[in-house]
Amino acid sequence: MTTAYHRGELAVQDRAELSRQAGFSLGGIGTVIPPVAAEFLAAQPMVVIGGTDRDGRVWATQLSGAPGFLRAPDERTLSVAARPGPQDPLAEVLAGPARIGMIAIEPATRRRMRINGRSVPDGDGLRVDLDQVIANCPKYIQKRDHRPLLPGEEGSGRAPRAVDSAELTEAQQRWIRGADTFFVATASDRGDADASHRGGNPGFLRVLSPTRLRWPDYVGNAMFLTLGNLELNPAAGIVVPGWESGSSLHLTGTARTVWDAEPIAEVPGAQRLVEFEVTAVREVSDAAPLRWSAPEASRFNPPVAPVS
């Protein structure tokens, strides 16, 4: 993985007729963590990680810790003072060397950055040798404040619990329909991983069936890191945070980009669509010891068309 685009990203940029813009955006991809980015990471209580399991399935998950649990001991290394518990879909992956994608996000200020690299276990945490450090814009991030779960509060002291299934339950479908944020993990055909944020007004992530989702690809920076990976490798994973409950909904499956003009025109703001086929579901209760405030929607969010 380098600061040059791979052939999948280049192919999508060309098809979208955004190669020129993508060339300008390439300046946002580096290989080191500058001091201002190190300060940002040290202030975060959460990071989202994507990776591929032994069966080739891609998953996304979130790790939490007190601010300072993310630390850059030098400009090419990130230290993460946390590892996923046994109920997490990436627990086994991160117990050994892995190629991972990460995104740190601060909803209160609508700031985010992506970090991709190679992780190894380091005590109770991880050490990540960096391949890419990527600046991202604040579009489609809903503003939220966080606080730690308080002693005695509902959920405090409870161990995370996982429930697996092959398709979405009715309750999980309602969870997805109400979501204004999710994170998607992908990997290239060489296994280099990436994790990215997707946001919009509730309803932008649409449930087409218990095993099929669709979301719009809105105007962005034209890098197409997610869609470029999907061009080479359809495996993908999603995590939908339960901001108020601390639970998380993990989905793995395959995804494809929809370029057909007719269905795209039916979705306000969509430049393209992504359809996701679910092959496995894991819901983890009490996954994160954080609670978040009600969201303030991004002014960039396009409206959501009513379900017909």
Per-residue pLDDT of the chain (308 residues; tens, 9 = 90+): 567 899 999 999 999 999 999 999 999 999 999 999 999 999 999 999 999 999 999 999 999 999 999 999 999 999 999 999 999 999 999 999 999 999 999 999 999 999 999 999 999 999 999 999 998 889 999 999 999 888 877 777 788 999 999 999 999 999 999 999 999 999 999 999 999 999 999 999 999 999 999 999 999 999 999 999 999 999 999 999 999 999 999 999 999 999 999 999 999 999 999 999 999 999 999 999 999 999 999 999 999 988 76
CA distance 171 to 102: 28
Q: Provide the pLDDT for residue 308.
A: 65
274, 227 Cβ separation under 8 angstroms: yes
CA distance 210 to 307: 16
Single-letter residue type at 106: E
Domains of the chain: 7-292 (2.30.110.10)
Whole-structure pTM over 0.75, yes or no?
yes
3-state secondary structure of 70: strand
Classify residue 147 as exposed, middle or buried by CB count within 10 Å of its CB (0-12, 13-18, 19+).
exposed
